[in-house]
Structure 1
C-alpha cells in the first residue's frame, strides 16, 4: 500500500502547547513551533487531514497552523478541495468572542479549514445559532466541562494523535490539557505518538508509562499523572516498536521524530473516516 493510499484516509489530531522545560533543554519556544509546523507540513503533503482544538490567540499555535494550511493550499493540487484541518472551538473559547469575529475568521479560513464551534456538551453549534448568543465570560465549571467535551469530540473525529510539549500548571480543567487528550487516546485505544524531546507533560507521560527513565528535570506528580500508571508503551497502539517509541519520546530532532511518526502511521494503516 502506498503512502498516498494510507494518508489520504488519515485524520490526525495534533496536541501541542508550551513546555516549561525548553530553557533547560537549550531550546526556545520557536523550536516547538517549528516542530509542530514540520509535522503538519509532512502530514499535509502526504494527503492526511489534521484535527486541532484551537484557541485563536494571536501568535498562538492555531494561527501558525492556519498559516501553514493556507500556504499548503496555494501549492496543492487544485483538484483537491478538502479542507486541510478541522479546528474545534470549545464552548468557553468561542463564547468569549463576538459572533461577528467568529464569522470573519471562518470566512477567512473557508476552503482551508473546517471551523466548528461546539456547545458545552461537545456537539456542534451551527453558526446561525451561535450568532444569536452574546459573548460572555465562562465560569470555571464551564471551562472544565467545555474543554473536556471538546477533547472527546476530537477523539471521535480523529484516527491517531500526536502530542508534544505541554504545561502542567496554570491549566483550566481538572488535569493539564495535553494529559487529558493523551489519556483519552489511551482509553480509546487510539494510536498515540509521544514526542517527548521537548519535555513538558509529554515527557512526563513517557516516563510514567515506563518508556523513559526519569531525568534531571523530573517533576513532582501533577493532577492526573497517576492515571497513566495503568498503561505501558504497548498501549500506545501506534505501530512502533518499544525501541522506536523510546526514540520518539527522547529525540529533540524533528526529522527523526517525523520519520518515526510516519513509519508508525504506515504500519497502522488507513483509518476510516469518523
Structure 2
C-alpha cells in the first residue's frame, strides 16, 4: 500500500446553488483533485459506497482506464460495516472485481480493518497466511459479518473514518451535510456530520484538513470556524440542528501551522477546480 495517503471527503451541499455553483463543479473539483494527487504519487482514500451515478463511482470509472494494467493502485477504498451489511456475497465479488484494478480495498467492521480480494470467485479476507479467510457463499459471507458486528450505522461510519485517519497524512473536504430542517437529503446520522467528524480527527492528530469552502456545506462552516473565511461568509439559514452547532463549535480553537495559512485561506475561497487541486497538493506535500 502506498505510504502517502490522502483522504478525500467530496460531496454536494444544500446551499451550493445559493452560492451560485452548478452541480457539475463538484465533479470538476473531484476529478481535478484526484488527478493532481495521483500524478504526485499519493494514494487517495475514500470511505462509503459506490452507488451507480454517485461522484465516487464516476471517479473510479473515469480513472480506471488510465491506470488499469499499469500496476498502480491509486485508490484506497474503505468499506464501512453499514455498507457491507447491505451487500450479498455476489455483490461483494462484483464490487471487488470492478475496483481491484485501481484500488486496495479494506472492510472495516467493529474496529478492525480487513483487506479483501478475490480468486476463483472466492472472497479472500485478510492478509496472506494461515489467518486469511476464504468465503465461498452468501452463508459464509453472512457468518463473517456476524462475527464482526457493529452497534449502529453511525458507529460503523465512525469506524471507517477513524481507520482512514490513522492511515492518511491529511484530508481534503468539500460540501457535506449540515442537518438543515426541511431538507431530508441533508440529514446526518450520529452526533455530527461525517465531514465535521473527519475534520476533528485530523485536527486533533495535527494533520492537515483542507476545506474547500467556496461551494458551501459543512466544509464552508469548518473553514469559517478555522478562520479561513470571515463569519459573515456563512450562508443565510434559519433554525439549525443543535448537534451540528455543537460539532462546529468543537472545530474552533484548532489551528494548523501558521505557515500553511496562506494556502488554506486560498483553498477556502478559490472557485477554480485546477487551482484548488494545486493548493491541496501543496498543503499535503508540506507534511
RMSD: 2.5
| Residue 256 (structure 2) aligns with | 236
Counterpart of 2:109 in 1: which secondary structure?
coil
Q: Which has the higher strand share?
A: 2
Give the distance between the partners of 2:3 and 2:167, measured in 1 at CA.
Answer: 12
| Residue 83 (structure 1) aligns with | 73
Q: Does 1:265 align with 2:259?
A: no
Equivalent position to 1:202, from 214, 219, 222: 219
Give the distance between the partners of 1:175 and 1:158, measured in 2 at CA.
Answer: 21
Counterpart of 2:13 in 1: which secondary structure?
coil
- Runs of 4+ deviating beyond 3 Å: 127-131, 133-136, 218-221
Q: Does 1:48 align with 2:66?
A: no
Q: Does 1:59 align with 2:68?
A: no
Counterpart of 2:41 in 1: which secondary structure?
coil
Q: Does 1:123 align with 2:131?
A: no
| Residue 217 (structure 1) aligns with | 235
When residues 72 and 151 of structure 1 are mapped into structure 2, their CA distance, relative to the original with a 3 A threshold, is same
Larger Rg: 2
Q: Does 1:150 align with 2:160?
A: yes
Give the distance between the partners of 1:60 and 1:122, measured in 2 at CA.
Answer: 27
Give the distance between the partners of 1:23 and 1:160, measured in 2 at CA.
Answer: 28
- TM-score, normalised with respect to structure 2: 0.79
Unaligned stretches of 5+ in structure 2?
Answer: 116-124, 126-132, 180-186
| Residue 103 (structure 2) aligns with | 113
**Contact 1:21 1:200 (8 Å CA) reproduced:** yes
- TM-score, normalised with respect to structure 1: 0.83
Counterpart of 1:100 in 2: which secondary structure?
helix
Deviation of the 1:218 alpha carbon:
4.7
